[in-house]
Amino acid sequence: MKYKCVIVGAGPAGMNAALYLKRAGIEVIVIEKDAPGGEMLKTSDIENYLGFNKIDGGELALKMSQQIKSLGVDIVKDEVIKVSKQDKFEIETKKDVYLADYVIVATGRTPRKLHLLGEDELLNRGISYCAVCDGGFYRGEDVAIVGGGDSALTEALYLSDLCNKVYVLVRKDLRANEILKARIKEKDNIIVLKNVQVEKLGYEDKLSHIILSNGERLSIKGLFVAIGGEVRLDFLKDLNLECINGYIKTDDRMESSIKGLYAVGDVRFKDFYQIITAASDGAIAALSIREDV
Ligand SMILES: Cc1cc2nc3c(=O)[nH]c(=O)nc-3n(C[C@H](O)[C@H](O)[C@H](O)COP(=O)(O)OP(=O)(O)OC[C@H]3O[C@@H](n4cnc5c(N)ncnc54)[C@H](O)[C@@H]3O)c2cc1C
């Protein structure tokens, strides 16, 4: 099967790329291994996507997929297992092989977990993997954030403007840049606890406290996990793509180090990982391809 462009992944990044390509009259197909929506499907309340005061993630995902399907875009349920390039790109899935001039990789990332008992069931009820997304639900409360890198400290600063106390829990020491460390020091309501790990989550219906490896008990309403994300790029290994910290490196047009292969959304190296930034990446890649065709 031949297409001008194959999009891998139907999260907001892939779906918005499809919307722009289809409207530009470019033949496109989206391949999605699960249900369209990506990480949005794991979110109950989204309060920072323009146009909606508050919307359930599943509902937003459905609206997006209905919109692109109504334009005639096919979202095929299949998993891409290999992409290679000769004259054209060859996209091998579990069921088929596709040929395309352009590929947009929109496969996202999975937040790294603590692997503690109760972690999965407490998602949206005390456990969060995104302070910018969920911080507002913990306004005025005591919370903790796990992680000592740049993104953990950026999230801690964000939370410190909303929450009462913010504990930063680090396994050894802070690894973030000096500017961030200095800004953390200036905040009266951020308390850094070094050489600790979370041993246990205390909860009934919602998170109420955590037990640390030093035996300390912290009463908190929210635990933010900021220990990085897992980006799976095994299906691209034949291409020798340039990456930064495991994420695909792109230019401002979203093109990777391989001509014709674009990366959008959470799979690419960037500063801000949000639905709206993912959708924006998708639009930029599609418009760049349109210019190139
Ligand atoms: C719990 C949680 C809550 C969040 N809350 C918010 C929020 O309130 N507001 C906000 O702006 N952001 C929020 N985010 C972040 C936001 O969801 C992501 O930034 C956004 O979904 C990234 O979009 P994406 O399209 O790049 O990737 P994803 O949404 O991850 O979509 C990637 C898609 O690719 C598919 N895929 C992967 N590999 C393959 C393959 N080999 N073949 C075929 N398909 C494949 C996956 O199944 C998935 O559907 C939240 C994230 C999490 C985890």
pLDDT average, residue stretch 250-260: 98
Instruction: Look at residue 44 and tell me whether its pLDDT is greater than 80.
Output: no
124 and 193 Cβ atoms separated by less than 8 Å = no
Pair 92, 128 in one domain: no
> Is 243 an annotated catalytic residue?
no
Pair 101, 17 in one domain: yes
What is the pTM (predicted TM-score) of this model?
A: 0.88
Structurally, the chain folds into a number of domains equal to 2
Distance from Cα 134 to the centre of ligand 1, integer Å: 15
Q: Which of 201, 225, 249 is the last residue of a domain?
A: 225
Instruction: Write out the residue range of the structural domain in which residue 174 sits.
Output: 112-225
Where does the pLDDT of residue 53 fall: very low under 50, low under 70, confident under 90, or very high at 90 and above?
very high
Residue 17, ligand 1, Cβ within 6 A:
no
At 150 the pLDDT is 86
Percent of the chain with pLDDT over 90: 92
At 43 the pLDDT is 80
> Is 130 an annotated catalytic residue?
yes
Pair 105, 154 in one domain: no
Pairs from 160-166 (Cβ < 8 Å, separation ≥ 24) = 160/187, 160/189, 160/190, 162/135, 162/136, 162/138, 163/135, 163/138, 163/139, 163/189, 163/222, 164/140, 164/189, 165/189, 165/191, 166/142, 166/190, 166/191
| CATH number of the domain encompassing residue 192 | 3.50.50.60
Pair 81, 160 in one domain: no
Pair 211, 241 in one domain: no
Where does the pLDDT of residue 214 fall: very low under 50, low under 70, confident under 90, or very high at 90 and above?
very high
Residue with the nearest Cα to atom 9 of ligand 1? 133
Pair 117, 218 in one domain: yes
Distance from Cα 278 to the centre of ligand 1, integer Å: 9
> Is 78 an annotated catalytic residue?
no
Residue 274, ligand 1, Cβ within 6 A:
yes
Pair 128, 184 in one domain: yes
Q: Which of 225, 242, 273 is the last residue of a domain?
A: 225
Distance from Cα 220 to the centre of ligand 1, integer Å: 27
Estimate the share of the chain in helix, then strand, then coil, as percent rounded to the nearest 5.
30, 30, 40
Residue 266, ligand 1, Cβ within 6 A:
yes
At 243 the pLDDT is 97
Pair 101, 116 in one domain: no
Pair 240, 216 in one domain: no
